[in-house]
Amino acid sequence: MTLLRLSSTALSRCRFALSPLAETLGVLIALHRPCGEPWLAPWHARHQADYRRWLARDTLAGGLLPLVAATKWLPALVALPPGGGMRTRLADELAVMATYSDEQVRSTVADAVAASWEPQDTGWLALDGLGPRAAAVFEQGWERFVAPDWPRRRAVLERDIVYRAGLLAAYGWKYAVQTLRQRSVWVGDNAIRFSDQEWPDRWIEDGLIFVPRTTGGGWWTCERPPHYALVYPAHGPAAPAGDTGADALSTLLGSGRARVVRELARPATSTQLAQALGVSLGTVSAHLAVLREAGVVAGVRSGRHVLYSRTVRGDRFVTALDADPQ
């Protein structure tokens, strides 16, 4: 078991941040692995040919990306704590990545290869300028697969942070952190169970940075002592705009209303829904009117805004229709 041990003051210094680099890493891992989420299948399939051609053409991408998609220990240069809070820029993160010397890259990659569950080709490590080359790979990954959809993805991430901040205000950090996982994560009062693997515990003095991403899967740490970040999947990430898929919920409600219902696994305003789904505010409002009349969603005023969420009936409806047919 690996623990993130927080000092007596570290918990009060925890905060949220955005990381375009973490989002890019999550997207590239998702593209490399088989698609496990049906609603992402159209997006995954649409980019596969371009992604595989890129790996075949670029020696470093063809060696580094298969590794990060198949290891329990990410190379340090690709898992960096964001330094700009909610305004973190990819350019700043890549500038840090580019400072890694060839020796540092080879050392951290060796750890990742040792923790990989698939054989890895490490011939690319003979190249020079590995840090800047790796930064160039992630810049290309961003431009190809993330940047065109970044406004929607950012809206999803910001919504998640607002959601977590609400939990934090109501219940405190321990509860907010617990909701990141389905199983218990706290060991005592000041340690987070990060992994069941036997790695050295981390001792954190300056607070932990929590970073959401839109792709699924587990969480990972970004470590650059004394700074540590925990990257986790955002609550109820939306499928990319235009990817509706063929499923029972879409067949019954229509793809537009089905996407609204799925997105409302977490409360949102109509404006936030429009941003996340890439549709007009009028379209969202029309869908919400029908869904409210059916008792599937409800709205509650919060200040100047109305927050919509699924009702108990809506949750049961989605669960029943998303279940595998017997």
Asked whether residue 240 is assigned to any structural domain, the reply reads: no
Prior bond of 226 cis (ω within 30°): yes
Identify the domain containing residue 128 by its residue range: 20-149
Say whether both 131 and 37 belong to one domain.
yes
Range with top average pLDDT, 16-20, 200-204, 236-240, 244-248: 16-20
How would residue 113 be classed by pLDDT, with cut points 50, 70 and 90?
very high
Confidence check: pLDDT of 109 > 80: yes
State mean pLDDT over 238-257: 68
Tokens of residue 7, six digits = 């000092």
End-of-domain residue from the set 233, 258, 274:
233
Classify residue 69 by burial, with Cβ atoms within 10 Å: 0-12, 13-18, 19+. Answer: middle
Tokens of residue 75, six digits = 């190379």
For 231-300, give the DSSP string: EEEPSSPPPPTT---S-HHHHHH-HHHHHHHHHTTS-B-HHHHHHHHT--HHHHHHHHHHHHHTTSEEEE
In one-letter notation, the amino acid at residue 31 is L
Confidence check: pLDDT of 326 > 50: no
Asked whether residue 197 is assigned to any structural domain, the reply reads: yes
In one-letter notation, the amino acid at residue 72 is K
Asked whether residue 238 is assigned to any structural domain, the reply reads: no
State mean pLDDT over 251-276: 84
Tokens of residue 309, six digits = 């969420």
pLDDT cut 90: percent of the chain above it:
45
Residue of 228, 190, 209, 173 whose CA lies nearest to 6: 190
End-of-domain residue from the set 96, 115, 149:
149
Average pLDDT over the chain, rounded to whole?
87
Least confident window among 39-53, 117-131, 134-148, 311-325: 311-325
Query: What's the rounded Cα separation, in Å, for the pair 130 and 135?
Result: 9
State mean pLDDT over 16-23: 97
Asked whether residue 216 is assigned to any structural domain, the reply reads: yes
Range with top average pLDDT, 61-75, 236-250, 311-325: 61-75
Higher pLDDT, 90 or 218: 90
Please give the angle made by the CA atoms of 230, 137 and 131, to the nearest 5 degrees. Answer: 75
Secondary structure of residue 34 in the 3-state scheme: coil
Question: pLDDT of 202-240, one tens digit each?
Answer: 888 888 899 999 998 888 999 998 899 999 998 765 555
What letter does residue 325 receive in the DSSP assignment?
A: P
Asked whether residue 241 is assigned to any structural domain, the reply reads: no
Say whether both 32 and 143 belong to one domain.
yes
Query: What's the rounded Cα separation, in Å, for the pair 29 and 40?
Result: 13
Q: Is the whole-model pTM more than 0.85?
A: no
Query: What's the rounded Cα separation, in Å, for the pair 182 and 306?
Result: 29
- 235: alpha, beta or left, given left = phi > 0 and alpha = psi -120 to 50? beta
CB neighbourhood size of 63 (10 A): 19
In one-letter notation, the amino acid at residue 1 is M
CB neighbourhood size of 143 (10 A): 12
Which pLDDT belongs to residue 203?
84
How would residue 182 be classed by pLDDT, with cut points 50, 70 and 90?
low
Which pLDDT belongs to residue 198?
77
Say whether both 195 and 81 belong to one domain.
no
What phi and psi, each to the nearest 5 degrees, are found at residue 217?
100, -165
Say whether both 70 and 142 belong to one domain.
yes
Say whether both 37 and 103 belong to one domain.
yes
Query: What's the rounded Cα separation, in Å, for the pair 317 and 326?
Result: 17
What phi and psi, each to the nearest 5 degrees, are found at residue 299?
-120, 140
Residue of 23, 48, 54 whose CA lies nearest to 220: 23
Residue that is written with structure tokens 């899967």 in the block: 217
Query: What's the rounded Cα separation, in Å, for the pair 63 and 133?
Result: 12
* Strand 305-310 with 227-233, pairing: unpaired
pLDDT cut 70: percent of the chain above it:
93
Least confident window among 34-48, 162-176, 226-240, 312-326: 312-326
End-of-domain residue from the set 119, 149, 179:
149
Query: What's the rounded Cα separation, in Å, for the pair 173 and 169?
Result: 8
Say whether both 34 and 135 belong to one domain.
yes
- Helix, strand, coil % (nearest 5) of the chain? 55, 15, 30
Residue 281 CA, distance from chain mean position: 25
